[in-house]
Amino acid sequence: MSTKVAEHKQVVRRRQVDKLSKIDKFAQRREQLANSALRTLAELGYARTSLREIAQNSEFSHGVLHYYFRDKVDLITYCVRQYKAATINRYDQVLVASVTAGELRERFVGGMVTSLARDADMHRLWYDLRDQSMFEESFRDDVREIDRSIERMVGRIVGQYADLARLRLAVPSRLVYALVDGVFQHALRSYLAGEERVVAELANDLGLVIDRLVV
């Protein structure tokens, strides 16, 4: 190999490394900005939030936010996607750690109950965004993708529960998520209205639903 060819390859490699480094830094910056904006978004909701409003409640300027995110739709869907991905990963760990059906049921229900009280604002933002997607076509695909990923996660949990208990699903798989999500959303509305008793009730309600889903 000639010296010139070798030097050219080195230049190409450096450019590729620099390009990947810039991409990584851009992605890291987006994540940092999203984490900072998350609380404002969760508190105010979709309709009452703008990039300018988010900037006023964070250490970042409106210009910086606008550089990394096209608009508030881009920012909100990014934030929700990050949060839901972390949630799905957490429940995947529950699947791995659970040896018996009882352990899996207890850990899943316990995680949902804890999340209701700890992350109520984030769940409210998700349901707000999901409702808005029926009107806002611009983020409909993102919401559908996130929703399906959650549906698959719930399906894995209940499916594994049935396998460990040597039972089978009593309803079509498409209804599993609808039933579990419906119970959780109902509890969330009550909790946000100040009815803290629903935290304990949710544990019982989810347990009943899961038991009815298998035979």
Closest by CA position to 47, among listed 66, 69, 67, 73: 73
What is the model's pTM? Answer: 0.81
Distances in Å between the Cα of 197 and the Cα atoms of 185, 203, 208 are: 15, 11, 17
Encode burial over 170-190: b for 16+ CB neighbours within 10 A, e otherwise: eeeeeebbebbbebbeebbeb
DSSP H stretches of helix in 45-71: 51-56, 62-68
pLDDT tens digits along 11-70: 555 555 444 445 578 888 888 888 777 777 878 787 777 888 888 777 778 888 888 888
Q: Record the tokens describing residue 76, joined without a space.
A: 């909100």
* Residue 79: pLDDT over 60: yes
Q: Tell me, what's the pLDDT at 15?
A: 53
pLDDT tens digits along 192-202: 999 989 999 99
169 phi/psi in degrees, rounded to 5: -65, 140
Q: Tell me, what's the pLDDT at 20?
A: 46
What domains can you pick out in the chain, each with its CATH number?
Answer: 3-213 (1.10.357.10)
